[in-house]
Structure 1
Amino acid sequence: MSKTAFITGTNRGVGLALTVAYLEAGWQVYASCRDIASADELTRRQNIFPNLAIVELDVTDHEAMMHLAQSMETTSLDLLINNAGYYGPKGYGFGNTDADEWRKVFEINTISPLKMAEAFYPQLKQGSPGVIACLSSKVGSMAENTSGGGYIYRSSKAALNSVVKSLSNDLQPEGIITVALHPGWVQTEMGGPNALIDTQASATGLKKVIDNLTPADSGLFMDYQGNYLPW
């Protein structure tokens, strides 16, 4: 019996690569993006994979999120990947933090993953039960922050890690595994051209880590190679 995943932010980058990786493995994938009309790379995959369902969703629109979840109430989800993310401004430095941009980054990176977990909790319970994988970042690690700066993005991912930890405590008794995953420094619009790995390497690694998760991993922070990261 094929498994089912819901992945957010799939129009490009790691989200698109993860979508393709799961489709190639025979999964049914619900892939969400903000604007289907501009997601050419994603929609092109529909001609290749009949097991791909594309849904339009702005993850900051919680009302639309709930309506979508209600429309999928009979769908069992084995996996929810909260991939949609936003970096915000770069190179602004201490003394120049844009508070409005900070709020926007938190809405997308920290609040939305929790709201997705709440919205699709019934579907995840119907799964095996399911896995919630939140794409975090090593820059959200307190222990690894030795260079400073990056206040907006760092804090959003550190807060996301806290959300993951609480979710793991709340949902593990029901068998749902929740993890924070660092995808590596990836060659994307966010990661830039100097990044160390491409999206396919990241997605392949992340899928392998997710495939091998056990209940003991719930609430942990891991990278795409399966290494455990410090909070």
Structure 2
Amino acid sequence: MPTVLITGANRGIGLELARQYAADGWNVLATCRDPGKAAELKAVAGDVAVHRLDVDDPAGVEALAARMEGRPIDVLFNNAGINRRAPSIADIDYAAWAETMTTNVFGPIRVAWALRDNVLASDSKVMAFVSSKMGSVAENTGGSIMYRSSKSALNMAVSCLAKELAGRGAIAVLFHPGHVRTDMGGPSAPVTAPDSAAGMRRVIAGLTPQDNGAFRNFDGTPLPW
């Protein structure tokens, strides 16, 4: 059976990804900051193993990589992220901005690099990253500078990662998951977590090496950088 590792799997999109992959018979390695508080995740039926991981903690990432040594991971799903809000530049809390960059940029790249050999040892060799169209410079309407800039930076970092690992068969892709009805997206968001997760999974299932470095909507539509 194929294996997926999902960061931030205790709620929202990450939890739904864990549910759907497990329901399809995948081995699910689900990570979150505090497994002791992840009751919904632990209740997911199927082959699901819950691991502690704070993507902000380099030592924790290395510890996870050590536990995973020698285990192929078909899909690494970097989902964990935060949204610290600042309506305008005048409102920036620079400490919160730094925290946003740490979690949304440094964390996913740190995890991807630490687990690169696991992914490259698998059949699928996919690294998926939850970004946002709010990180698109072409579609920028202003505001939300901390979140937007973190996702733009993630897009560039993953583009570099994709080029660096292309020769080894990796397929690294970025997703806008939609405006999803989660704690982050709010109760009135138009896209449900099940629909977002299902859409990204369909895209992943059809990826080829030519898709390496792509930036897609959850339904597969290409997005502008």
Deviation, 1:10, is: 0.5
Distance 2:124 2:31 in 1: 22
2:43 aligned counterpart, secondary structure:
helix
With 149-158 and 128-137 compared, the bigger mean Cα shift is at 128-137
Is 1:139 matched with 2:155? no
Q: TM-score, normalised by structure 1?
A: 0.95
| RMSD over equivalenced CA pairs, Å | 0.9
Which of 205, 213, 219 is the matching residue for 1:211? 205
Provide the residue aligned with 2:58 in structure 1. 62
Is 1:112 matched with 2:107? yes
Distance 2:22 2:124 in 1: 20
Provide the residue aligned with 1:42 in structure 2. 41
Alignment of 1:15-54 (within 5 A): 15-45=14-44, 48-49=45-46, 51-54=47-50
Which of 175, 181, 187 is the matching residue for 1:181? 175
1:184 aligned counterpart, secondary structure:
coil
Deviation, 1:71, is: 1.5
Residue deviations 1:156-195 (CA, integer Å, cap 9, x gap): 0000000111011001110010011110010001101121
Residue deviations 1:36-66 (CA, integer Å, cap 9, x gap): 1111110111xx21x1000011111111111
Deviation, 1:197, is: 1.1
Is 1:223 matched with 2:217? yes
Provide the residue aligned with 2:70 in structure 1. 74
Give the letter aligned to residue 61 of structure 1: D
Provide the residue aligned with 2:153 in structure 1. 159
Deviation, 1:129, is: 4.9
Deviation, 1:94, is: 2.9
Q: TM-score, normalised by structure 2?
A: 0.98
Distance 1:27 1:163 in 2: 28
1:29 aligned counterpart, secondary structure:
strand
Distance 2:162 2:74 in 1: 16
The size of the alignment, in residue pairs, is: 225
Residue deviations 1:6-39 (CA, integer Å, cap 9, x gap): 1000110000001111111111010000001111
Runs of 4+ residues deviating >3 angstroms: none
Is 1:84 matched with 2:83? no
2:190 aligned counterpart, secondary structure:
coil
1:95 aligned counterpart, secondary structure:
helix
Is 1:122 matched with 2:117? yes
Which of 98, 106, 112 is the matching residue for 2:93? 98
Provide the residue aligned with 1:5 in structure 2. 4
Deviation, 1:70, is: 1.1
Distance 1:26 1:129 in 2: 16
Deviation, 1:79, is: 0.8
Give the letter aligned to residue 110 of structure 1: V
2:84 aligned counterpart, secondary structure:
coil
Distance 1:191 1:64 in 2: 28
2:182 aligned counterpart, secondary structure:
coil
